[in-house]
Structure 1
Amino acid sequence: MSRRRSTLFLVYNLGAEMVYVLAQRLNSQNVPLKQAASAIDKIISMLTDWDLLMILIRPQEMFSHEKVKNIIEDIAQCSTMRLDPVSMDKLWDLITMVLKWQVTLSPTSNEVLNLSETHLFEIEKYVSNVETLEKLNRIQSCLSMLKEGLGADELKHLHSDLMSWLKEFNVKVSLLIKLELQTPDGKFLKTPNENNKTVLSNLGKNIYLSQENDKLAISIKEKRQREMNCLQNDLLGSVDNQGNAFKFTALKTRENNNVFDKIDVKREESNLQEIFNEFHINDNDNNEYDYD
């Protein structure tokens, strides 16, 4: 079989769908928002771990269903939230079937690449930790580089690789049936109507929670805004009681003092392009992930 990087796109798409499902469950079970945010953030941190990327990015045969399920299960179980075997099997059936529906409606490899980008940018709303956000941003950058740098053979076969891997999954998803996107006998429908036109035009986004009902994402967004306000106050001071002047505290401006010129913004992953250009497979690599 050909050695390509289709598994990378498979795992990140499934991982993002897993985040959506777990966020929905935490919302519906009224888990305290701080606890829920911590659990989802830990899962995203594990999904975007650099060591995992280094395994997935190797040109290689598609991972088996068992191996991919092991990866997803390890990530799902990494936080304080635990799923029993029955729940884990249900989660697996749901995310594989929803991804199959999405890939079926994305008939070209370029559309699959766009779907993957959407997934990785959408889960950002569930990130509540700065370190996790940095890890996710790094994976987003890697995916953008891959999107631009995939060889002709990989680009040609990406869609067919994923469809071939997903073909054995034939579960009926109640939400897809309710939205008239799947028939009761399991076939996918592509005809837009009032119930599903928004979902069809936003493949890769969360189909379980609307923006208005996503309490977890809303609370994380509000927390970020509070942190940003605090940062602005620390840097620029706050408006006085009359609301017409700033009291600069942490940062005092002085003439010819180019403070921002001295900030080192160099990132250690600035050589990411070299990874894609000069990646060599080493069968003796040692890492925490062992899915062989």
Structure 2
Amino acid sequence: MSLKSLSLLFINLGGEMMYILDQRLRAQNIPQDKAAKVLHDIIATMFNKRFMEELFKPQELYSRKAMRTVFDRLAHASIMRLNAASMDKLYDLMTMAFKYQVSLCLRPRDILMITLNHMDAIAAFVQDAPNAKSQVEYVYTLIKQNFGSMSLGEFQLIRQTLLIFFQDMHIRVSIFLKDKVQNSNGRFVLSTSGALPYGTEMPGTIRIFNSQGDQVKTSSFYAAGPYKLTEKEGSSDMKGNRETKLGTNMYNVAKSSVEAMAGSGPSKPGSTTSSATDMDHGPNPMAKAQLDLLSRLIGGGEKKTTKKSEFRLNLFTTDAEEEEAAALRPAEEPGSQVINIDATKKQQNQELNKIMGELNVASDDQDNGGGDDLLDLMDSA
């Protein structure tokens, strides 16, 4: 297992979350200023300097439950609110999209190119937000420092670690079912043709060498194909051609393509059904510490979100479909229930003050851009 996989998993899932939220904000005709603020606040929180530095330290992956908790908090790090059913659907779409991308990697180093494609898109979302933009640029630096000179063997270990994380997660997604890249049981269909990994030759030739290393015979065989040579290696520079469409936004392209994971429009109702068995064990101590750090960072906004400025985002086509999905959602086990703490009322309730004091929620971070409406609703770790 690679101990450097966590940061890549987090960034790629975060990139997919941005794609989906951007698409749904547009679909629901949310005013542009509000939509931009949602994306800016979430990205500023997600790429907080202290949190990212902790995330890039070698460590084991979070459990699925802990990773879900992180993104549950991040998704609410703004004036946007999601109910449980919409949050379930958001996380299902995020995880299955990235699982498909990892499965399609032509070579292990493409994991880095996928990550940089997500970073490029995130950077585009915050072009007019200087604080968040500087945070994103810092993450580019961390990626280059940690993965720029990594060997192919290490990238292969990262890919295997990520696939282990997604193992047994077979969630049906309509956009994949429509493009026939996913079966009805939730398993992906991987093509045996298409682009070849950079540095490889067209299949169909057998070369025989003697004991001195000289080629003595050549024969050929039929290779199914069709195949296409990849002529350039993807660039890992901050601005460069990644030479792959994996990791780009599949929600705003018109042409459908298996290799590009392309598609358009929101998912159809009832298109996601989870058949994954979640990891029930809690996060390791490092993960718990980082979750606590994230809670403090998200709670560090100087101004409080007002109920008037909040709005609800629906990941389903209609409210009725969301309510139907919520009704089918399994009830939480007593041991896994989440306690919500409304920080806007902490001056009105002595018991709440005591709880907040024990959690040590303080405005101890100024690196997240000081957004006006960062999350005041924190879940217990």
Provide the TM-score with structure 1 as the length reference.
0.67
Structure 1 residue 101 displacement after superposition? 0.6
Q: Distance in 2 between matches of 1:58 and 1:153?
A: 19
CA displacement, residues 61-99 of structure 1 (integer Å, 9 cap, x when unaligned):
111111111111111110100111111111111111111
Q: How is 1:43-62 mapped onto 2 (pairs within 5 angstroms)?
A: 43-62=42-61
1:210 matched to which residue of 2?
A: 253
Q: Distance in 2 between matches of 1:54 and 1:61?
A: 15
The secondary structure found in structure 1 opposite 2:293 is coil
| Counterpart AA for 1:65 | R
| Counterpart AA for 1:209 | N
Q: Distance in 2 between matches of 1:30 and 1:286?
A: 33
Question: Are the equivalent residues in 2 in contact too, given 1:5–1:56 (CA < 8 A)?
Answer: no
1:184 matched to which residue of 2?
A: 184
Q: How is 1:11-30 mapped onto 2 (pairs within 5 angstroms)?
A: 11-30=10-29
The answer to whether the aligner puts 1:288 opposite 2:288 as a matched pair is: no
Structure 1 residue 151 displacement after superposition? 6.4
Moved over 2 A (4+): 149-156, 183-187, 189-193, 283-292
Structure 1 residue 156 displacement after superposition? 3.7
The secondary structure found in structure 2 opposite 1:202 is coil
The Cα RMSD (Å) is: 3.0
1:224 matched to which residue of 2?
A: none
| Counterpart AA for 1:85 | A
Q: Distance in 2 between matches of 1:107 and 1:73?
A: 31
Question: Are the equivalent residues in 2 in contact too, given 1:5–1:154 (CA < 8 A)?
Answer: no
Show structure 1 runs of 5+ residues with no match: 194-199, 215-280
Q: How is 1:90-101 mapped onto 2 (pairs within 5 angstroms)?
A: 90-101=89-100
2:6 matched to which residue of 1?
A: 7
Show structure 2 runs of 5+ residues with no match: 195-242, 256-263, 265-285, 296-379
Change (3 A) 1:3 1:41: same
Change (3 A) 1:143 1:19: same
2:174 matched to which residue of 1?
A: 174
CA displacement, residues 15-44 of structure 1 (integer Å, 9 cap, x when unaligned):
000000000000100001111011111111
Q: Distance in 2 between matches of 1:32 and 1:140?
A: 30
Q: What is the total number of aligned residue pairs between the two structures?
A: 218
Q: Distance in 1 between matches of 2:107 and 2:184?
A: 27
Q: Distance in 2 between matches of 1:66 and 1:286?
A: 12
- Percentage of pairs with the same residue: 27
CA displacement, residues 125-170 of structure 1 (integer Å, 9 cap, x when unaligned):
2113111111111111211222224467643410000000011211
Question: Are the equivalent residues in 2 in contact too, given 1:93–1:169 (CA < 8 A)?
Answer: no
Structure 1 residue 201 displacement after superposition? 5.2
Q: How is 1:31-46 mapped onto 2 (pairs within 5 angstroms)?
A: 31-46=30-45
Question: Are the equivalent residues in 2 in contact too, given 1:103–1:159 (CA < 8 A)?
Answer: yes
Q: Distance in 2 between matches of 1:162 and 1:181?
A: 20
The answer to whether the aligner puts 1:162 opposite 2:205 as a matched pair is: no
Q: How is 1:212-251 mapped onto 2 (pairs within 5 angstroms)?
A: none
Q: Distance in 2 between matches of 1:116 and 1:190?
A: 21
Q: Distance in 2 between matches of 1:285 and 1:67?
A: 10
> After the TM superposition, which of the residue ranges 148-157 and 43-52 deviates more from structure 2?
148-157
Larger helix share, 1 or 2: 1
The secondary structure found in structure 2 opposite 1:78 is coil
Provide the TM-score with structure 2 as the length reference.
0.52
Structure 1 residue 184 displacement after superposition? 2.7
1:115 matched to which residue of 2?
A: 114
The secondary structure found in structure 2 opposite 1:210 is coil
2:142 matched to which residue of 1?
A: 142
Larger strand share, 1 or 2: 2
